[in-house]
Amino acid sequence: MSKKNLDVIEFGGKLKEIRKTLNLSLKDMEAISGYSLSSLSEIERNITNPNPKYLLLLAEKFNVNLNWLFTGKGAMFSPGFELSWDFGKDTKTILKLFYLVENCDVFRYEILKYFLEYLDSNYDKIKQYLPDPQKL
């Protein structure tokens, strides 16, 4: 049994969970990432910290939610939404909204759901106070 380095952040279990969820072996991850099998094994066993480039690779290639990886909050994977509509300058805002909805706690989710239902059921009454989309 190897001595654990006190400076190692315990990413190992989460990285293994990601790999297993994606149905990938360590050998698969070696081929995808370019990191050696022994390095990946040491990371998953919390012997060494992963290189930040490895974490970014997971985020970019597999949509891994780095917030989940670092804090355990939110979903394991970031939303991979491809918006079929172009919201112009608001496209980024809409994507952020999707991300926030996916990663919010139950209380905030219920408030947001109630608010959206209220807006939907009262749209005709509220419409007069909304800005004209053509003028934005």
Q: Which amino acid is at 50?
A: P
Q: Is residue 44 part of a domain?
A: yes
Q: Is residue 83 part of a domain?
A: no
The answer to whether residue 113 scores a pLDDT higher than 90 is no
CA-derived radius of gyration, the chain:
21
Q: Which CATH number belongs to the domain containing residue 22 in this structure? A: 1.10.260.40
Residue 80 or residue 45, greater confidence: 45
First to last CA, the chain: 64
Q: Is residue 22 part of a domain?
A: yes
Q: Is residue 33 part of a domain?
A: yes
The answer to whether residue 40 scores a pLDDT higher than 90 is yes
- 64: β partners: 77
Sign, CA dihedral 38-43-46-51, equals positive
DSSP label at residue 25: -
- Which range of residues forms the domain containing residue 49? 1-62
Q: CA 24 to CA 115: how far, in whole Å?
A: 41
Q: Is residue 105 part of a domain?
A: no
Tens digits of residue pLDDT in 82-100 = 545 566 666 666 666 766 6
Count of domains forming the chain: 1
Structure confidence at residue 37 (pLDDT): 94
Q: CA 129 to CA 80: how far, in whole Å?
A: 33
Check if the beta carbon of residue 40 is closer than 8 Å to that of residue 29.
yes
Q: Is residue 7 part of a domain?
A: yes
Burial of 50 per CB tally in 10 Å (0-12, 13-18, 19+):
buried
The answer to whether residue 67 scores a pLDDT higher than 70 is yes
pTM of the model: 0.54
| 36 phi and psi angles, rounded to 5 deg | -70, 155
Q: Is residue 5 part of a domain?
A: yes
Structure confidence at residue 85 (pLDDT): 55
Average pLDDT of every residue of the chain: 78
Q: Is residue 31 part of a domain?
A: yes
Other beta carbons less than 10 A from residue 64's beta carbon: 23
